[in-house]
């Protein structure tokens, strides 16, 4: 992958909304932070998001989640030096990345494709073969496969389900009973919530690591974020 040059990233600053130079205090890596297109949650409320452009990658996240990360604003001179150092480092490395592309006749399924990245991309391999289509990111795979009828949610890899939920998608499943996994915020903290699970199954879900909390006189059940993938795997394990 060709890293973005320092000249190009500085030129991109002019076209980004609310740009800022940031560095991760833990890794020492830098990025250009800017405002990204908002998502809509299941209730139709906008989810504000930001984008982090790195020399060889791009990542989007909820604006509220940024405060839980180690990204901090830095001055332009520090950014320039760090970015150029990363470009030089990346130029001598070979990176591999899995890219999922929805290609072919897209118009009939356009409404089923993710709404957070509408650009049409052309990908060319080393042999000159090219494909034109829409990139589908990790957190959108479960939703897309479900909409297209390619697979039911519960039959998708647990990692894909967890990534979708943590990215803000609600995932409906029917096994072992109808329910949904969704991301919720309680007292400003992110949680994975199980919605519409039968009350008779609460004890079983708690035995797997879930926990309940009474909020506004209603019992709600959550999964610790750190153990989300392992617990969801246990819940969906075929009997």
Let me know: does 192 contact 179? Beta carbons within 8 Å: no
Whole-model pTM above 0.75? no
Reported confidence tier of residue 95, pLDDT bands at 50, 70, 90: low
Concatenated DSSP letters of 29-58: -EEEEEEEEEEE-TTS-EEEEEEEE-SS-E
Which residues are CB-neighbours of 163 under 8 A, at least 6 positions away?
Answer: 138, 139, 141
List the one residue out of 162, 147, 167, 183 whose CA is nearest residue 231.
Answer: 162
pLDDT, averaged across the chain: 87
Query: CA-CA distance, 47 to 61, in Å (whole number)?
Result: 10
CA 161, distance to chain mean position in Å, is 11
pLDDT at 189 over 90: no
- What would the pLDDT profile of 42-60 be if each residue is shown by its tens digit? 566 777 889 999 998 888 8
Let me know: does 37 contact 60? Beta carbons within 8 Å: no
- What would the pLDDT profile of 118-135 be if each residue is shown by its tens digit? 778 888 887 888 889 888
């Amino acid at each position: 992958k060709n890293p973005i040059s320092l000249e190009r990233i500085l030129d991109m600053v002019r076209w980004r909304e609310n740009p800022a130079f940031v560095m991760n205090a833990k890794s020492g890596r830098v990025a250009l932070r800017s405002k990204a297109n908002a998502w809509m949650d299941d209730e139709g409320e906008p989810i504000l998001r930001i984008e982090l452009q790195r020399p060889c990658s791009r990542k989007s996240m909820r604006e509220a989640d940024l405060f839980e990360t180690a990204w901090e604003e830095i001055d332009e001179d520090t950014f320039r030096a760090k970015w150029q150092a990363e470009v030089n480092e990346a130029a001598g490395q070979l990176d591999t990345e899995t890219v999922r592309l929805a290609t072919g006749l897209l118009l009939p399924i356009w409404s089923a494709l993710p709404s957070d990245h509408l650009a049409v991309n052309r990908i060319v391999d080393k042999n000159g073969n090219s494909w034109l289509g829409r990139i589908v990111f990790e957190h959108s795979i479960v939703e897309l496969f479900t909409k297209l009828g390619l697979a039911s949610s519960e039959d998708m890899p647990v990692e894909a389900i967890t990534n979708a939920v943590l990215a803000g998608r609600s995932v409906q499943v029917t096994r072992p009973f109808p329910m949904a996994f969704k991301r919720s915020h309680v007292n400003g903290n992110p949680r994975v919530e199980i919605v519409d699970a039968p009350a008779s199954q609460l004890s079983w879900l708690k035995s797997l690591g879930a926990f309940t909390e009474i909020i506004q006189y209603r019992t709600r059940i959550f999964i610790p974020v750190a153990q989300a993938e392992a617990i969801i795997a246990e819940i969906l394990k075929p009997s």
